[in-house]
Amino acid sequence: MEREIDRLLDIPFVASLAFVSVAVLALILFLYIFELVTRYDCWAEMKRGNLAVAMATGGKIFGICNIFRFAIEANESIYKSMGWAGFGYAILLAAYFLFEFLTPVFRIDEEIERDNRAVGLIAMLISVSLSYVIGATII
């Protein structure tokens, strides 16, 4: 079975579709995990117009997709790419917890839920910036 998949992935259009499909499914899964660890409901808050939540979530989406980009670019195999992308996501998730822990003056999630746009912007930029650093380590 793996050989048939590898033969299909030798076709550039099929490979592109496969990489994008797997990345989108992983993005949904990874966003769901982020949703579980935040103290607010991202989608409900965005529906209310909470721009801080939208910025923080957008940063997570960009960060996850950027890590996938680096993983796909660095590896020829879809299996290695997804492995590295998953590893990169784990680092991004750990960085999220570290950001929350290293900011003892206020609770990041509470400020974002209150639509503190300055905190939402910083959260977005941390996710985006770290995705470049994480991506640079992917081999």
| Per-residue model confidence as pLDDT tens digits over 27-75 | 999 999 999 999 899 999 999 999 999 999 999 999 999 999 999 999 8
**Torsion angle of the four alpha carbons 49, 44, 96, 111, in this order, in degrees rounded to the nearest 10:** 50
Compute the average pLDDT of residues 111-128: 96
pLDDT at 2 over 70: no
| Cβ 52 vs Cβ 112: under 8 Å | yes
79 alpha carbon, distance to own chain's centre: 18
Across all residues in the chain, what is the average pLDDT?
92
- Structural domain total, the chain: 1
Give the amino acid at 78. I
Identify the pLDDT of residue 1: 62
Could you read off the pLDDT of 106-119 as tens digits, one per residue? 899 999 999 999 99
**What is the Cα–Cα distance from 45 to 56, expressed in whole angstroms?**
11
Would you tell me how many other CB atoms lie within 10 Å of the CB of residue 50? 22
Quick one: what percent of the chain has pLDDT higher than 90?
73
CA 121 → CA 1, 65, 116, distances in Å? 46, 18, 9
Closest-CA residue to 82 (of 21, 131, 32): 21
Which single residue is written with the structure tokens 């960085």? 95
Identify the pLDDT of residue 79: 86
Q: Residue 50 is encoded by which pair of tokens?
A: 């909470």
CA 7 → CA 75, 80, 128, 135, distances in Å? 16, 16, 35, 27
Confidence of residue 88 (pLDDT cuts 50, 70, 90): very high
Range of the structural domain that residue 47 is part of: 2-137
